[in-house]
Amino acid sequence: MKVLFVDGTIIGSKTGAMLDTVEEYVKEASGDFQIERMNLADYDHQFVDGRPSEQYNEDMQKMVRKFEEADAYIIATPIFQGSIPGVLKNAFDLLHPHAMRYKPVSIVANGGTYQHHLVPEFQLKPILDYFRCLVTPNFVYTHSGHFDQDNRIIDEDVHNRLRELARVFAKYTEMSQDLSKDVLDAN
């Protein structure tokens, strides 16, 4: 089972730090995962503007391939201006609507304060619902007070929530294996 860990920002380091912690817990939850990291900061992005897919640069095409080849995803996002970063939305805009269909996804997010803790629920989840992903009911939101100066998560509740997310995510990956990804409707 290939799991793609997506660091959905090109700025900052707490999002990546959250993914590092989730990775530990996901590995504890199941030995069955082949984990790959996709840091959007490592890619040369182009605006998705409707051109044929082969006209995007190699990095954009690589990004699509990685999304398509994965069986499940952990998506990590910071909150920017009450929403997800444009670069992450641009990556989703590039994908075929069937690319993530019926594949499990868990979300982890971080903002400057608690103020935007429902952004993952109201902004990111609807996009994943459009893709018909199997989004776990657990997502974890952190803010800067949950991290120490070296960007390690110091809040025990957050660790517990991440462990629980990993446990449910592992179960969703098991369940998804019996669900055919064949698509009968064209939409």
Ligand X SMILES: Cc1cc2nc3c(=O)[nH]c(=O)nc-3n(C[C@H](O)[C@H](O)[C@H](O)COP(=O)(O)O)c2cc1C
Q: State the nearest-atom distance from the C-beta of 83 to ligand X, in Å.
A: 7
| Choices 30-38, 109-117, 120-128, 132-140; region in contact with ligand X by CB under 6 A | 109-117
The position carrying tokens 């009450």 is 82
* Least gap, CB of 173 to ligand X (angstroms): 27
Q: Which position among 8, 78, 104, 120 is part of the footprint of ligand X (CB under 6 A)?
A: 78
145 forms part of the interface with ligand X (CB under 6 A): no
Contact 35, 3 (CB under 8 A): yes
DSSP state of 153: B
Binder to ligand X among 34, 53, 55, 115 (CB under 6 A)?
115
| Choice between 81 and 187, CB closer to ligand X | 81
- Of 79, 84, 135, 140, which one interacts with ligand X (CB under 6 A)? 79
Alpha carbon separation from 132 to 98, 119, 163, 177, 181 (Å, rounded): 8, 19, 25, 15, 11
82: left (phi over 0), alpha (psi -120 to 50) or beta: left
Gap between the Cα atoms of 22 and 78, Å rounded: 15
Single out the residue of 80, 92, 139, 169 in contact with ligand X (rule: CB under 6 A).
80
By CB under 6 A, residue 14 contacts ligand X: yes
Shortest reach from residue 68's CB to ligand X, in Å: 28
Distances (CA, A) of 56 to 47, 65, 129, 136: 9, 13, 26, 32
Nearer to ligand X, 13 or 176 (CB): 13
3-class SS of residue 139: strand
Shortest spacing between CB 29 and ligand X, in angstroms = 25
Contacts with ligand X, residue ranges (CB under 6 A): 11-15, 78-82, 110-113, 115-116
